[in-house]
């Protein structure tokens, strides 16, 4: 067998570990449970060309631990520390049954128990609910946002240090924030939720996506955080940490690049407002996307991390900004400044500008 087709040793090791944990879980009476995430799709206008992208994860859990695919409210109110998101055994290659209206699909999760599948669905624009089950488990409701055929504007935002203070450029602090802190102690980035609300005010049917190198393990925690801090409702595009079939570690940059390119193919008529920060590689990733798909970018917004938030932040790069002619850039430290700059670019609806006030 050619070397390039061989499965990496680390991947085999992880597969064996997942299989052992699943087997032990079943011996202890745990059952496969679907943990649903918000997906998205596109309306077909009755032509039969519509589709939805279903996102979920299958884990082994005790009976009653989840209700409708979500942790019980008491567990959430008591606070979930970050490390608890990583202890549930996955159910590799589990078969999930998805019911959309009167149609049923059988879809296999991947080696990490993650379900990411695009299936046909002729649904009107807006939010819809898909029912997911596995091995006769209680049904779990997964929400999907179906984008209208005539949609022309979308909002895509990074998560870490863009909407929530994570301090990723400072590894020890980032680890503390991710694994130790109670989820209620997480801090929202100043003014960013209001900024997004201003941008979306007066616009209907806008797809909102949150793209991150974070793990699917924390998807529901992030969703609760976004809800508590009044961020626009949207779908998460996360990744699965750990080895791949070709290496020890997954590339976070590649994940973001691949997801952006996929969106350009799935929604060729939408121009995205891309929002990120200068703590990692968002400027480079967004610039590469804008050069390849200039017709799909209306502007790039980069939140500048303060010195106390990062010691390795890249800062403004005039070279990167100059590499995307025709695509405007906004660099600012908080949501209030970003709103002002977007207003000058005509990207904040007049109704939002007339209301005045600075995001807090």
Cβ atoms of 164 and 254 within 8 Å: the answer is no
Residue 226: HSE in the Cβ half-sphere, 13 Å Cα cutoff: 24
In a domain, 360, yes or no: no
What is the per-residue pLDDT for 76?
43
User: 147, 170, 193: which is the final residue of a domain?
Assistant: 147
**CB under 8 Å to 182, separation ≥6 — which residues?**
79, 80, 81
How does pLDDT run along the chain (360 residues), one tens digit per residue?
334 456 655 667 767 777 788 889 889 989 999 999 999 999 987 778 999 999 999 999 887 777 776 664 444 444 554 445 556 788 999 999 999 988 999 999 998 899 999 999 999 999 999 999 999 888 999 999 999 999 999 999 999 889 988 765 444 444 444 544 555 667 888 899 999 999 999 999 999 999 998 889 889 889 989 999 999 999 999 987 555 555 445 566 899 999 999 999 999 999 999 999 987 789 999 999 999 999 999 999 999 886 655 555 555 566 788 899 999 999 998 999 999 999 999 999 865 554 555 544
Report the distance separating Cα 144 and Cα 240, nearest Å. 20
Domain with 305, as residue range(s), is 153-355
| 89 and 16 co-located in one domain | yes
Domain boundary among 91, 120, 147: 147
Query: What's the pLDDT score for residue 89?
Result: 86
- On whether residue 68 sits in a domain, the answer given is yes
Backbone angles phi, psi at 301, to 5 degrees: -110, 125
Q: Are residues 88 and 187 in the same domain?
A: no
pTM score above 0.75: yes
> What is the tally of structural domains in the chain?
2
Cβ atoms of 71 and 183 closer than 8 Å? no
pLDDT for residue 169:
47
* CATH code for position 239: 3.40.50.1000
């Amino acid at each position: 067998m050619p070397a390039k087709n061989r499965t990496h040793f680390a991947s085999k090791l992880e597969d064996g570990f997942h299989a052992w944990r699943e087997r032990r879980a079943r011996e202890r009476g745990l059952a496969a449970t679907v943990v649903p995430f918000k997906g998205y799709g596109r309306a077909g206008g009755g032509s039969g060309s519509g589709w939805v992208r279903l996102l979920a994860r299958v884990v082994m859990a005790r009976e009653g631990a989840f209700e409708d695919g979500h942790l019980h409210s008491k567990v959430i109110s008591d606070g979930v520390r970050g490390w608890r998101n990583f202890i549930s055994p996955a159910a590799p290659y589990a078969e999930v049954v998805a019911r959309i209206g009167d149609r049923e699909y059988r879809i296999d999760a991947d080696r990490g128990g993650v379900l990411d599948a695009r299936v046909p669905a002729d649904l009107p624009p807006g939010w819809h609910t898909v029912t997911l089950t596995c091995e006769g488990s209680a049904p779990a409701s997964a929400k999907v946002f179906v984008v209208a055929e005539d949609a022309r504007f979308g909002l895509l935002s990074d998560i870490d240090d863009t909407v929530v203070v994570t301090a990723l450029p400072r590894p020890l602090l980032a680890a503390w924030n991710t694994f130790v802190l109670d989820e209620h102690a997480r801090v929202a980035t100043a003014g960013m939720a209001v900024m997004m609300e201003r941008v979306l005010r007066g616009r209907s049917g806008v797809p909102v996506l949150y793209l991150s190198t974070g793990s699917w393990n924390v998807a529901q925690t992030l969703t609760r955080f976004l809800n508590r801090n009044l961020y626009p409702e949207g779908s998460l595009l996360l990744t699965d940490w750990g080895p791949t079939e070709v290496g020890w570690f997954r590339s976070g940059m590649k994940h973001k690049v691949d997801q952006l390119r996929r969106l350009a193919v799935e929604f060729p008529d939408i121009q995205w407002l891309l929002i990120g920060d200068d703590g990692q590689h968002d400027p480079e990733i967004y610039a590469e996307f804008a050069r390849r798909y200039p017709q799909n970018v209306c502007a790039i917004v980069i939140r500048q991390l303060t010195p106390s938030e990062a010691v390795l932040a890249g800062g403004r790069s005039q070279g990167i900004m100059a590499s995307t002619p025709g695509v405007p850039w906004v660099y600012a430290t908080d949501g209030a400044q970003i709103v002002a700059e977007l207003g000058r670019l005509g990207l904040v609806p007049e109704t939002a500008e007339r209301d005045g006030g600075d995001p807090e």
